[in-house]
Amino acid sequence: MSGIDAVCFDLDGTLLRDDHLMSIMDTVATSLAGRHPGLVAEDLRASNRRHAEAVWRDWEVAWCRGESPLQEISSLVWTAVLGDAGIVDADSVAEACRLQEQLERESWRLYDESIEVVHGLRERGIRVAVITNGPSEFQRAKLETVGMTTAFDAIVVSGDRGIEKPRPEIFETALSALGAEPSAALHIGDSRSADVVGAHAAGMAAVWLDRSGIGSLEPHQHADAVVTDLRGLYPLLS
Cα separation, 32 vs 44, whole angstroms: 8
Q: Report the predicted TM-score, pTM, of the whole model to 2 decimal places.
A: 0.91
pLDDT score for 70: 84
Class of CATH domain 21-107: mainly alpha
Q: What are the residue ranges of helices labelled H in 108-135?
A: 114-123
pLDDT score for 132: 98
The pLDDT tens digits for 108-137 are 999 999 999 999 999 999 999 999 999 999
| Helix H or strand E encompassing 198 | helix 197-201
Class of CATH domain 6-17+109-237: alpha beta
Q: Which residues of the chain have pLDDT under 50?
A: none
Q: Would you say 165 and 195 are in contact if contact means Cβ atoms under 8 Å apart?
A: yes
pLDDT score for 90: 92
Domain locations in the chain as residue ranges = 6-17+109-237, 21-107
Q: Name residue 132's beta-bridge partners.
A: 157
Cα separation, 36 vs 172, whole angstroms: 50
